[in-house]
Chains A and B, each alone.
Chain A
């Protein structure tokens, strides 16, 4: 195996976190994710799924009270959100934010060039960037009109999630965290977004797919499934665990864990 394949992308140890000043939500999460792996984290509402996603992306409304997160050899928790992003951490938002007055293409270009800059590469000029982004837009079955509209403004649920997939495809992250990507999607949109995500599965890239329902995992098939309950990973297994959850429900798993 190559050095890359042996390396660890992210190593979470005994992570505790809370909403700043509030009660503890994550109560000791440990998880190691290696290149090429797709980990699903499943859990009922209130189990801490979104907290975990947001803590990894660096949202400051959450406070880490204990534990460590190593990302490609660095202390992830010491980095600002933008520093994490340019190093290849990507959070696909459960609720992508609408930003009036900022065009999608300008936003995408700024994001793309921030990463190029971090990598010591020259920034893409307007023509170069447009060529690239239009190709990506086409791959995702989107319309060019997406680019001139304001970021997510007035987008349907499906369009917002496709826009997340577009950003992911453009930024080529090392660690993609998909926070309830299936929420608010009909089956066609879900398939389209899942296809976009699957196209990005690569030996040097890892994904953490956070979801309430097994449905998404029919399309993005994980290597590992973990059950998150009350702030802890209570059970881990392969994709058959997702099926078991579907049958028994979270209550059944929690009881047997």
Chain B
């Protein structure tokens, strides 16, 4: 099934488990007791794409944004979610010359968010992902794992803000950002922020940026695996964690295949996709 632009996708208990929607102005409402995966595959550049999400208490939504617009295009996407139930979000930024995602989620009491991001870039691609997670009420939980894999002169920004409002006690929030630079000219700007206005909260964040491990590379080569293949295996090993966390098997398979193709792409066209 497919929702037209500006339609509201209402998901009720017993509806299909996997829904693909056309990106544009998307609105998703999922009711208590319902559980579904919604996939938005962005293949056309749009500077005003938006998605509004409302996850009712007792509902589970897995939302996957797969951005694969042309690598010379500008693309911007705003995602706003209100979460009283459980939201698992995947933001896969594979395409775009300049692609920005603003992901904002507001968690109500007992709301849970698991958000994963993967930014791929080569050539002169610029990926820009910004998250604002607001713990508005007590006992809510958020986990963020964001990775970027950058080659050539590609750059990425990860700007992640965790806000804990006054009164949102027992908030449990974590944010991890890991970046792997495959070339000396690639760069990443990682900016975690915390704004905490409540007591008795757990907030953890961390950020690492590095290059392929020379030890790991030598280990693979010492087993006969050529350097190019070895680099590909290590890069794949770094990124696939994000994709393996996609619950829907068909989407997970497609995404892993797209990652493999992307890694081989450097071979085909000399690094500029």
Contact = CB atoms under 8 A, between A and B. Distances in A.
B236 A171 contact: no
A241 B241 CA distance: 51
Interface stretch (B12-20, B51-59, B109-117, B225-233): B225-233
B234 interface: yes
B216 A99 contact: yes
Given A80-B227, A82-B226, A101 B236 contact: yes
Given A61-B214, A150-B237, A111 B219 contact: no
A99 B234 contact: yes
Interface residues of B, number: 24
A58 interface: yes
A97 to B, nearest CB: 4
Interface stretch (A30-38, A85-93, A248-256): A85-93
Given A93-B219, A97-B216, A82 B237 contact: no
Contacts of B216: 97, 99
A137 interface: no
B219 A96 contact: yes
B219 A97 contact: yes
A102 B213 contact: no
Size category of the binding interface on chain A: 20 to 34
Contact of B225 (A58, A61, A82): A82
A85 B229 CA distance: 15
A171 B215 contact: no
A138 interface: no
Given A57-B222, A101-B238, A110 B215 contact: no
Contact of A85 (B213, B215, B222, B237): B222
Interface of A: 57-61, 80-82, 84-86, 90-91, 93, 96-97, 99-102, 106-107, 110-111, 114-115, 118, 150-151, 167, 171
8 contacts: A82-B222, A82-B224, A100-B237, A102-B233, A107-B225, A107-B233, A114-B224, A171-B223
Given A85-B224, A100-B238, A101-B237, 6 more contacts: A58-B221, A82-B224, A82-B227, A110-B223, A114-B226, A167-B223
